[in-house]
């Protein structure tokens, strides 16, 4: 089964930036999927079952917290590794995100190096 | 490029592969695409001929199309797709790079906001610069305006700078670090020749640290792996330096203010130390204040204390033989001897009143008693020296009384004074003046005496109740026999009953009856001047009409207390 990463953010440039950050993983057989809102994301997660999801918190329709809760609690897809992304200064959300079942919490602007090494770690790809 | 750019474009399930698939179906035509080195990326290997059409990217052949007559069209299409994809990636890389810079600046601001320490800020600046810009060595130099020297508050990485040369070559560094410019150094060789840079340095750049109105230093980065620095590198360094400048400027200002505040505090401490020589610290502490500056008009506190007065007997006679300067010197020397004894016994001097001292003992009356005895011993010692010089001995009386006392700040808004207001002070002063009549070196009121613990070092005798000037009630007084001239304790024990009988008779108003035991006492202790005085009083009364008791007569003959200040 090929490795898949889902990138969920309503801002196009953030999606592109994350993709660009993780670009080198493509050579190692990783496929990138993107979604611009929570509803689409939930759909893709069920269909494609990605191993790793970068999930923005603040999104229209279905926000990241809710997506996270449904995936982890309702759908019982515990194995999907979810990294919540939120703007700096809203760290208060952190605990709530973790309560919703998120595995890790990252702030934006994110550190590209940290993001890449985290993705490698989750997908079990050597540095 | 390590991998062929064509490969990802045509890989399985990719957009490019899907398009080609569609094309072959629509045109009913086969196609084979290979890498520049012949590896098949799409289609049937059998189609490969020697006349494959080259696919170019940036004038470089990256692969071949084998599709007969459609070859040229497909090669152009793939070239265009490849170009677009490469541009997208390049743009993506650039944006990511900018994002990384943004992240660096963001983190830097966060770190700067968390500190006000200038040396920490200097270290963070270099740390962040090293993280964001390729370099192996960095220094932050600062011009110290006060000392007129160049300081290196931070350096990082391997040593590509000769630090001692940095210090010694000020003119060059002035150019580099104090010019206010930010630049990539064109000619690194100059700096190497001057010994500032190590031999293997390849590139160096610097950005000025600027405050609102002045330049105060620079951040300098050096590398031996990077061939040269780009405008992008410099731009990032300038951004970091700009942030660092603002933070450094406020940190330095803060440090300066702190320094000044410390100095002010120190000078306040000097003043405080000076003032407490005038106003006793214990006085302030009793008022719950740490410093004289906190004192306000009306501050006051009430306490039970023992008030002690000393006075030099016949000081007027003594001082007549001296010039005013000698007089002053004599009193100073006298006070200098007694002051430390009072403080040593946890007392404090409330006031020096010429030749007399008023001291307070807030802790225990016993402190006052012990101080009094040691003071008398000190006076005896002084007298030994005076005797050698042929000077008259000093005779001083010490009186004390224990009672409530209000210490407070009186005066008006412009002139404050520390004052003790209490009847206890008056009583103590009057008891001190009794020492003159009774020829007793140390007298205690009964309230002081009653508070004393059992102690076999000290001996007392009761002198009866006397009415003091301005007082309605009589007050019992006691003489401390230690240091009392002419009294030998062995003799005293033998005549004690007689003495006490005499006092009782006086208190009953029977001078005739009292005179007998006093005569007995004096025959045993002829130098007991107190008993001699008491006998005199009895005889005086017997000769006059006995209309008043001795004690009241005593009162009538008292002079008003001198120098009590109340």
Q: Report d(CA A57, CA A40) in Å as an integer.
A: 14
Choose the mutation target among A3, A20, A88, A89 for the interface with B, i.e. most B CBs under 10 Å: A20
- CATH no. for B6-94: 3.30.450
Question: Which of A36-50, B276-290, B317-331 has the weakest average pLDDT?
Answer: B276-290
Residue B103 touches partner A, C-beta closer than 8 Å: yes
E strand or H helix that includes residue B395: none
pLDDT at B559: 36
Q: Do A111 and B106 touch (CB under 8 A)?
A: no
Which chain B positions have a beta carbon within 8 Å of A88's beta carbon?
106, 110
Residue A2 touches partner B, C-beta closer than 8 Å: no
Residue B273 touches partner A, C-beta closer than 8 Å: no
Beta bridge partners of B411: B416
Could you please state the CATH topology (level 3) that the domain comprising B115-256 is classified under: Beta-Lactamase (3.30.450)
| Percent over 90 (pLDDT), chain B | 23
Q: Report d(CA B345, CA B487) in Å as an integer.
A: 26
Q: Which of B523, B525, B526, B557 is nearest to B540 (CA)?
A: B557
pLDDT at B192: 80
pLDDT at B556: 39
Q: Report d(CA B359, CA A95) in Å as an integer.
A: 67
Domain boundaries, chain B: 6-94, 115-256, 281-553
Q: Which of A105, A115, A33 is nearest to A68 (CA)?
A: A105
pLDDT at B378: 92
Our CA-based measurement puts residue B114 at a distance from the nearest CA of chain A, in whole angstroms, of 14
Task: Provide the ipTM.
Answer: 0.74
**Confidence label for A67 from pLDDT (cuts 50, 70 and 90):** very high
Q: Which of A19, A27, A109 sits opposite B106 (nearest CB)?
A: A109
Q: Which of B8, B99, B106 sits opposite A17 (nearest CB)?
A: B99
Residue B261 touches partner A, C-beta closer than 8 Å: no
Our CA-based measurement puts residue A16 at a distance from the nearest CA of chain B, in whole angstroms, of 7
pLDDT at A117: 94
A11-64 tens-digit pLDDT: 988 898 899 899 889 888 899 999 999 999 999 999 999 999 999 998 888 889
In this predicted structure, the answer to whether residue B288 has a pLDDT above a threshold of 80 is: no
pLDDT at A96: 82
| Percent over 70 (pLDDT), chain B | 87
B10-29 tens-digit pLDDT: 877 778 888 888 988 998 88
Scanning every residue of chain A, which has its alpha carbon at the shortest distance from the alpha carbon of B96? Answer: A17
- B334: CB partners within 8 A, 6+ apart: B312, B355, B382, B394
Which chain A positions have a beta carbon within 8 Å of B102's beta carbon?
109
pLDDT at A110: 85
B477-496 tens-digit pLDDT: 999 988 777 677 788 888 89
Choose the mutation target among B4, B94, B103, B128 for the interface with A, i.e. most A CBs under 10 Å: B103
Question: Is the fold of B6-94 the same as that of B115-256?
Answer: yes
Our CA-based measurement puts residue A70 at a distance from the nearest CA of chain B, in whole angstroms, of 30
Q: Report d(CA A26, CA A15) in Å as an integer.
A: 15
Q: Report d(CA A112, CA A22) in Å as an integer.
A: 8
Beta bridge partners of B353: B356
B396-417 tens-digit pLDDT: 999 999 998 877 777 777 776 6
Are the C-beta atoms of residues B141 and B217 closer than 8 Å to each other? yes
Right CATH for B281-553 from 3.30.930.10, 1.10.260.40, 3.30.70.1230, 3.40.50.880: 3.30.70.1230
**Confidence label for B525 from pLDDT (cuts 50, 70 and 90):** confident
The model's pTM is 0.52
B75-106 tens-digit pLDDT: 999 999 999 988 888 888 888 888 888 888 88
**Confidence label for B377 from pLDDT (cuts 50, 70 and 90):** very high
pLDDT at B276: 64
Which chain A positions have a beta carbon within 8 Å of B106's beta carbon?
88, 109
Q: Is B476 exposed, middle or buried (0-12, 13-18, 19+ CB in 10 A)?
A: middle
Q: Do A27 and B93 touch (CB under 8 A)?
A: no
Averaged pLDDT score across all residues of chain A = 89
Q: Which of B515, B520, B521 is nearest to B542 (CA)?
A: B515
In this predicted structure, the answer to whether residue B310 has a pLDDT above a threshold of 70 is: yes
pLDDT at B560: 37
Distances (CA, A) of A93 to A9, A14, A72, A112, B103: 17, 20, 17, 22, 21
The 3-state secondary structure of B55-88, one letter per residue? EEECCEEEEEEECHHHHHHHHHHHHHHHHHHHHH
């Amino acid at each position: 089964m090929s490795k898949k990463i889902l990138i969920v953010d309503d801002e196009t440039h953030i999606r592109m930036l994350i993709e660009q950050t993780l670009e080198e993983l493509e050579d190692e057989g990783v496929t990138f999927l993107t979604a611009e809102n929570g509803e689409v994301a939930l759909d893709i997660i069920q269909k494609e079952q990605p191993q790793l999801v970068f999930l923005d918190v603040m999104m229209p329709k279905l926000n990241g917290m809710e997506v996270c809760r449904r995936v982890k609690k309702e759908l019982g897809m515990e194995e999907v590794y979810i990294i919540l992304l939120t703007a700096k200064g809203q760290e208060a959300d952190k605990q709530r995100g973790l309560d919703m079942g998120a595995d890790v919490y990252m702030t934006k602007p994110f550190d590209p190096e940290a993001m890449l090494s985290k993705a490698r770690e989750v997908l079990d790809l050597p540095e | 490029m390590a991998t062929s750019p064509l490969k990802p474009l045509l890989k399985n399930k990719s957009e490019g592969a899907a398009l080609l698939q569609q094309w072959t179906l629509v045109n009913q035509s086969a196609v084979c695409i290979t890498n520049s080195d012949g590896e098949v990326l799409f289609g049937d290997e059998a189609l490969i001929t020697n006349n494959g059409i080259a696919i170019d990217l940036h004038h470089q052949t990256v692969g071949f199309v084998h599709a007969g007559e459609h070859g040229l069209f497909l090669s152009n299409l793939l070239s265009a797709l490849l170009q677009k994809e490469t541009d997208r990636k390049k743009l993506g890389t650039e944006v990511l790079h900018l994002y990384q810079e943004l992240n660096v600046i963001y983190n830097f601001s966060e770190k700067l906001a968390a500190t006000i320490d200038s040396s920490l800020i200097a270290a963070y600046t270099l740390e962040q610069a090293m993280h964001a810009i390729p370099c192996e060595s960095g220094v932050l130099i600062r011009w110290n305006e006060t000392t007129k020297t160049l300081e290196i508050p931070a350096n990082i990485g391997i040593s590509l700078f000769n630090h001692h040369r940095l210090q010694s070559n000020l003119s060059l560094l002035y150019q580099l670090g104090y010019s206010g410019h930010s630049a990539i150094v064109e000619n690194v060789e100059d700096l190497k020749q001057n010994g500032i840079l190590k031999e293997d340095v390849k590139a160096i750049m610097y950005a000025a640290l600027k405050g609102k109105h002045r330049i105060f230093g620079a951040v300098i980065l050096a590398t031996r792996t990077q061939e040269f620095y780009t405008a992008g590198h410099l731009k990032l360094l300038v951004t970091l330096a700009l942030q660092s400048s603002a933070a450094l400027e406020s940190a330095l200002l803060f440090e300066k203010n702190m320094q000044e505040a410390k100095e002010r505090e120190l000078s306040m401490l000097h003043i405080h130390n000076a003032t407490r020589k005038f106003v006793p610290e214990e006085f302030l502490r009793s008022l719950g204040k740490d410093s004289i500056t906190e004192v306000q008009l009306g501050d006051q506190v009430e306490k039970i204390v023992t008030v002690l007065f000393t006075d030099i007997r016949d000081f007027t006679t003594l001082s007549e033989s001296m010039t005013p300067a000698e007089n002053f010197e004599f009193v100073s020397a006298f006070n200098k001897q007694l002051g430390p004894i009072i403080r040593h016994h946890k007392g404090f001097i409330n006031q020096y009143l010429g030749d007399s001292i008023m001291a307070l003992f807030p802790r225990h009356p016993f402190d006052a008693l012990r101080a009094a005895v040691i003071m008398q011993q000190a006076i005896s010692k002084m007298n030994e020296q005076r005797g050698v010089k042929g000077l008259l001995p000093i005779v001083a009386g010490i009186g004390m009384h224990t009672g409530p006392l209000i210490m407070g700040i009186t005066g008006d808004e412009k002139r404050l004074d520390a004052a003790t207001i209490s009847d206890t002070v008056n009583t103590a002063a009057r008891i001190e003046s009794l020492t003159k009549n009774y020829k007793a070196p140390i007298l205690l009121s009964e309230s002081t005496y009653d508070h004393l613990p059992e102690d076999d070092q000290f001996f007392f005798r009761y002198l009866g109740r006397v009415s003091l000037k301005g007082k309605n009630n009589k007050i019992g007084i006691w003489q401390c026999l230690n240091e009392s001239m002419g009294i030998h304790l062995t003799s005293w024990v033998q005549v004690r009953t007689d003495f006490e009988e005499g006092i009782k008779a006086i208190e009953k108003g029977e001078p005739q009856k009292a005179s007998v035991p006093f005569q007995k006492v004096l025959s045993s202790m002829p130098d007991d001047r107190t008993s001699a005085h008491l006998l005199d009083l009895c005889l005086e009364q017997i000769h006059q009409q006995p209309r008043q008791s001795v004690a009241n007569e005593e009162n009538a003959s008292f002079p008003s207390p001198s120098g009590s200040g109340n």
